[in-house]
A and B are shown apart, each in its own frame.
Chain A
Amino acid sequence: MMGLFYMLVFPGFIFLSVFGMAAEYCDRKLYARLQNRVGPPWFQPLADFIKLVSKEEIIPEEANPSMFKIMPVLALTATITAFFYIPAWGYKALYSFNGDLIVVLYLLTIPTLTFFLGGWYSTSLYSKIGAVRALTQLFAYEVPLLMSILAPALLANSWSLSEIAKFYAQHPVYWFFNLLGFAISMISLLGKLEKVPFDIPEAETEIVGGTFTEYGGKLLGLFRLGIDIEAIVGSALLAAVFLPFGLGLPPVAGFLLFVLKVMGVICTLSILRTIFARLRIDQMMAFCWKVLAPLAFVQLFIDLILKWIPLK
């Protein structure tokens, strides 16, 4: 009974949907304000979602109907599952075990794979191009993201997110040395969420809608909700690994602090997306492999040295 409540209401589906839509609103409003516009009203993501859900559903004749339909659901479930392993308020996640860091990163990769498969199975030319780009991009940002998140874990001597949070709460000085990793993972997260400098797989102005070209109605609504929740989960992951402050607070204050941290990450992401323009896929590959990956190595070395010579 309790498990069902966790899954569906809090902190599961309903809470994450509301939070995801609120985050999408903040993102779009901030983006508009930075462009000197008024921006959308507060209910915009909700109206978009209801409208999409109430629209006709079209499945292309050539597409594989079951694969086409199951991909958005898979993307949504994977991101919601990932959230259960992230310590949001308090030191402990809802479910935690040694190695949940890897599981969360793995679960966050699934949406990208569903974009690829969904695009591939819709058999339209544009969605195929988008699908291949999504996969190519995955290989570029995933390595720096993984390395920059593993570096703090290395220092904390644990693969469990709750343990990492506990370690940094006890040794707050070390937090300062992970700032480089924080910046790298933030940029990689932009790639994961396919936001503007790295929105190459979607690229509405060149390949129509990329992976989502053939998706419409309910399925598109689910995909969009999945992406919103992925943004929340990704930001919560970064907040848990790189900003582990004030975790011992009482429930309500701790919860507010958590929301504040996630919103901070999301707002930084939307500022980044305002000031950059879309890159080409080869530029993105070069940037990720030649700049981000070596920097992530530097972060790893810093943490290794710190482990070797502990601070007093």
Chain B
Amino acid sequence: MGLVHKIVTWSRIKSPWIIHFNTGACNACDIEIVAALTPRYDIERFGIQLKGTPRHADVLVCSGPVTKQIKCRLKRIYDQMPEPKFVVAVGTCACSGGVFDGCYNVESGIDKVIPVSAYIPGCPASPKAIIDGVVKLLTGLEAKEAKAK
């Protein structure tokens, strides 16, 4: 069992497919995420691929605070992803609500609605920070697996 488990963990770390979802960002974080996907940063080096549908994805990359309108949609997208799944919150707003915290139409950070595995601060978070965050999430996963053993 041990070897199979190790191989599966290795494959998960080497091939994270992401889906990008805007939960109410001001669009700056989205542009930075899109910039991180360009050939300039070449995230396919890490096996990261952008997927269009939640069914294919392992990592949900969210940007922006959760607005009241998007809350149930965010939950639904999260439920549509097959296990094991992770959520990365990109930008200060996604981490805590940021400048929009307390607005009449805003719920707060992503972690109030769905569990978040990694937080990437910054307003907006730079592409390098986003890539670093995803890689740290994956290496953290490896460490957790090692500790569990």
Given contacts A28-B44, A37-B42, A38-B42, contact A54 B11 (CB under 8 A): yes
Which residue on chain A has the smallest CB distance to residue B54?
A216
**A40 at the B interface (CB under 8 A):** yes
Chain A residue numbers with a CB within 8 Å of B53 are 126, 208-209, 212-214
Cβ contact within 8 Å between A204 and B52: yes
Chain B residue numbers with a CB within 8 Å of A39 are 42, 44-45
CB distance from B132 to the nearest CB of A (A): 17
Q: Which of A212-240 contact B (CB under 8 A)?
A: 212-217, 220
Interface membership of chain B positions 69-96, coded 1 if the CB is closer than 8 angstroms to chain A and 0 otherwise: 0000000000010111000000000000
* Contact of B44 (CB < 8 Å), options: A40, A50, A126: A40
Chain B residue numbers with a CB within 8 Å of A50 are 7-8, 10-11
Segment touching B, from A55-63, A134-142, A251-259: A55-63
**A308 at the B interface (CB under 8 A):** no
**B56 at the A interface (CB under 8 A):** yes
Number of A-B contacts (CB under 8 A): 87
Size class of the A contact interface (CB-based, 8 Å):
20 to 34
**A250 at the B interface (CB under 8 A):** no
Chain A residue numbers with a CB within 8 Å of B15 are 44, 47-48, 51
**A3 at the B interface (CB under 8 A):** no
Chain B residue numbers with a CB within 8 Å of A209 are 51-53, 55-56
**B39 at the A interface (CB under 8 A):** yes
Cβ contact within 8 Å between A205 and B8: no
* Contact of A58 (CB < 8 Å), options: B39, B55, B84: B55
- The 7 listed contacts between A and B (C-beta, < 8 Å) are A35-B39, A37-B44, A37-B45, A47-B15, A55-B58, A58-B55, A208-B53
Binding site for A on B (CB under 8 A): 7-8, 10-12, 14-15, 39, 42, 44-45, 47, 50-53, 55-56, 58, 80, 82-84
Which 8 residue pairs across A and B have the least CB separation, nearest first?
A216-B55, A50-B11, A47-B14, A56-B82, A204-B52, A56-B83, A37-B42, A209-B53
